[in-house]
A and B are shown apart, each in its own frame.
Chain A
Amino acid sequence: MIQLRSVRKTFGPKVVLDDLNLDVKKGESLVVIGGSGTGKSVMLKCILGLLRPNGGSIKVDGEEVTNLKGKDRDRVMQRFGMLFQGSALFDSLKVWENVAFGLIQGRKMQRPQAREIAIEKLAQVGLAESSGDLFPAELSGGMQKRVALARAIATSPEIIFFDEPTTGLDPIMADVINDLIVECVKKLGATTLSITHDMASARKIADRIAMLHKGKMIWVGSAKDIDHSDNPYVDQFIHGRAQGPISMELRA
């Protein structure tokens, strides 16, 4: 469904993505893991067209999206939902208006009806109706994350990106969110691409796991194979060891 081929992205002299290849199949849940600053968020933004890659091809259902403009871009965007790492809630709008934004602006829904759906989505992420009338600045970090999650799934998009959905949440709430993501895939048939550092979450939501390191996917495989990948980088990462091939390269 999503196909990345030789995608390259640099910021000045700094090469972030270098010849990156990745396939996300329809209806699967793919989790991308990788060290901090390896370019996971940048990869998502390239697919969404928020950043323009320096080279390579990104296809969504066979359609090249790197050069889309105007109406065509809007049409493709309609199919995506995105949870930003930093939540990116609109601070001038109330919580429920944030969640309903895609419904009102993108789908042209009437406000009362959109509000109802927003409240329902808020309930799914464990937020009471009363919090809908607050402003994002009045919420805790974890609550903001959950509102952002509700906003990402509010329009029931076909393809959803979750950038660190459980970071900053308590373990119980994190598991509620994991279940919610699994439900998105199983019940709504969505295709999801998630980024996480939380291996418990990765194991729970992933059909397949890919590891990004130095601008390339160094390992892609089924989630149950992650413990015997025979890849020293993956082993070090999932066990969180300070010693290993990754740290040695950091020092070099």
Chain B
Amino acid sequence: MIELLSTIGMVVLLFLIHVGKLAEFTALAVSHVVRPPFFPRLIAKSMLEIGYFSLPVVGLTAIFSGMVVALQSYTGFARFSAEGAVATVVVLTLTRELGPVLAGLMVAGRVGASMAAEIGTMRVTEQIDALTTLSTNPYKYLVTPRLLAGLLTMPLLVLIADIIGVFGGYIVAIYRLGFNPANYLSRTWEYLQTNDVVSGLTKAAVFGFIISLMGCYHGYYSKGGAQGVGQATTNAVVSAAIMILVFNYVITTLFFGK
């Protein structure tokens, strides 16, 4: 019994230590956002990596999601003669949920992993120590630009994904399900509210921050050579994915919860 309690105690303690470390890491990195020098080149580089180079994979995800939502809702809603709602369902699911969440998960796998691997390698090869000895703060140089880039780029990426996804739904609706194009488009706009898009973009910004944060955090504290870097990469992706799903619920509650 005491053994069990002490085990639980240990786990809770370890968890709290981890949370504390993460909070300190985040606070330090964020504090450098407003303190010069800034690194616009590095921010731009990260933005390109997160946004531009993720476009193909996120675009593909979005278009197929839009297509499948159109198909599924059509056949499902036909059971109670509500096929007319397809356009609305497609645009709402995409802007509110699928756009940000799927883009978030894809980018976590692509960019979060590469950040953790890059920073982790820099850690185990002492490049981070070298930065310090060359009077450059590693938080400022490595972490802050990535956090900013994640925060700023993901909403843009998700906005594009939303549009591509709606387009995917449109294609299926017109060419497969025989909807009238003008009708479908006006239905798409009719019930769409600002809040639907804004909530989705807010999610995107938060997810972007989470992805960069997890990539940097796990990379920064990786140790022990190639194996440690591999572990950091896995942890970065898994923890980012879990946090994205949790925060997705939290933000949804904040926007639409009763």
- Asked if A50 contacts B132 (CB within 8 A), the reply is yes
- Asked if A88 contacts B130 (CB within 8 A), the reply is yes
Question: Residue A176 at the B interface, CB < 8 A?
Answer: no
Question: Residue B134 at the A interface, CB < 8 A?
Answer: yes
- Asked if B127 contacts A90 (CB within 8 A), the reply is yes
- Asked if A88 contacts B135 (CB within 8 A), the reply is no
Q: Mark A70-90, 1 if CB is under 8 A from B, else 0.
A: 000010011011101010111
Q: Which listed residue (A77, A89, A90, A92) contacts B132, Cβ 8 A?
A: A77
Q: How far is the CB of B124 from chain A (nearest CB, A)?
A: 10
Q: How far is the CB of A115 from chain B (nearest CB, A)?
A: 16
Given contacts A84-B126, A86-B125, contact A48 B136 (CB under 8 A): no
Of the listed stretches A52-60, A101-109, A220-228, chain B binds A101-109
- Asked if A86 contacts B132 (CB within 8 A), the reply is no
* Residues in B119-166 with C-beta less than 8 Å from chain A: 121-122, 125-127, 129-137, 141
Q: How far is the CA of A151 from the CA of B126 in the complex (A)?
A: 14
- Asked if A50 contacts B129 (CB within 8 A), the reply is yes
Q: How far is the CB of A117 from chain B (nearest CB, A)?
A: 14
Q: How far is the CA of A45 from the CA of B135 in the complex (A)?
A: 15
Q: Which residue of A lies closest to B118 (CB)?
A: A92
- Asked if B129 contacts A102 (CB within 8 A), the reply is no
Q: How far is the CA of A78 from the CA of B134 in the complex (A)?
A: 7
Query: Hey, which chain B residues are within 8 Å of A155, CB to CB?
Result: 134
Q: How far is the CA of A151 from the CA of B130 in the complex (A)?
A: 10
- Asked if A88 contacts B126 (CB within 8 A), the reply is yes
Query: Hey, which chain B residues are within 8 Å of A88, CB to CB?
Result: 125-127, 129-130
Contacts between chains A and B (CB distance < 8 A), count = 52
Q: How far is the CB of A135 from chain B (nearest CB, A)?
A: 13
Interface hub of B118, B122, B132, B135 (most chain A Cβ within 10 A): B135
Q: Which residue of B lies closest to A50 (CB)?
A: B129
Query: Hey, which chain B residues are within 8 Å of A82, CB to CB?
Result: 130, 133
- Asked if A106 contacts B135 (CB within 8 A), the reply is yes
Majority secondary structure of chain B interface residues (helix, strand, loop or mixed):
helix
Q: Mark B102-131, 1 if CB is under 8 A from A, else 0.
A: 000000000000000010011001110111
Q: How far is the CA of A137 from the CA of B66 in the complex (A)?
A: 44
Q: How far is the CA of A101 from the CA of B137 in the complex (A)?
A: 13
Query: Hey, which chain A residues are within 8 Å of B118, CB to CB?
Result: 92
Query: Hey, which chain A residues are within 8 Å of B130, CB to CB?
Result: 82, 84, 88-90
- Asked if A106 contacts B126 (CB within 8 A), the reply is no
Q: How far is the CB of B35 from chain A (nearest CB, A)?
A: 10
- Asked if B127 contacts A106 (CB within 8 A), the reply is no
Q: How far is the CA of A89 from the CA of B129 in the complex (A)?
A: 11
- Asked if A105 contacts B135 (CB within 8 A), the reply is yes
Q: How far is the CB of A169 from chain B (nearest CB, A)?
A: 19
Q: Which residue of A lies closest to B45 (CB)?
A: A92
- Asked if A45 contacts B132 (CB within 8 A), the reply is no
Query: Hey, which chain A residues are within 8 Å of B137, CB to CB?
Result: 74
Query: Hey, which chain A residues are within 8 Å of B141, CB to CB?
Result: 105
- Asked if B133 contacts A48 (CB within 8 A), the reply is yes
- Asked if B125 contacts A106 (CB within 8 A), the reply is no
Q: How far is the CA of A81 from the CA of B37 in the complex (A)?
A: 21
Q: How far is the CA of A78 from the CA of B133 in the complex (A)?
A: 8
- Asked if A102 contacts B134 (CB within 8 A), the reply is yes
Q: Which listed residue (B125, B126, B129, B136) contacts A101, Cβ 8 A?
A: B136
Q: How far is the CA of A50 from the CA of B133 in the complex (A)?
A: 9
Q: Which residue of A lies closest to B126 (CB)?
A: A88
- Asked if B125 contacts A105 (CB within 8 A), the reply is no
- Asked if B127 contacts A78 (CB within 8 A), the reply is no
- Asked if B133 contacts A86 (CB within 8 A), the reply is no
- Asked if A81 contacts B133 (CB within 8 A), the reply is yes
- The 3 A-B residue pairs whose C-beta atoms are closest, nearest first, are A106-B135, A88-B126, A88-B130
List 29 A–B pairs whose Cβ atoms lie within 8 Å, in order of A's numbering.
A48-B129, A48-B133, A50-B132, A74-B135, A74-B137, A77-B132, A77-B133, A77-B135, A78-B135, A80-B133, A81-B133, A82-B130, A82-B133, A84-B130, A88-B126, A88-B129, A88-B130, A89-B130, A90-B122, A90-B127, A91-B125, A92-B118, A101-B134, A102-B135, A105-B136, A105-B141, A106-B134, A106-B136, A151-B134
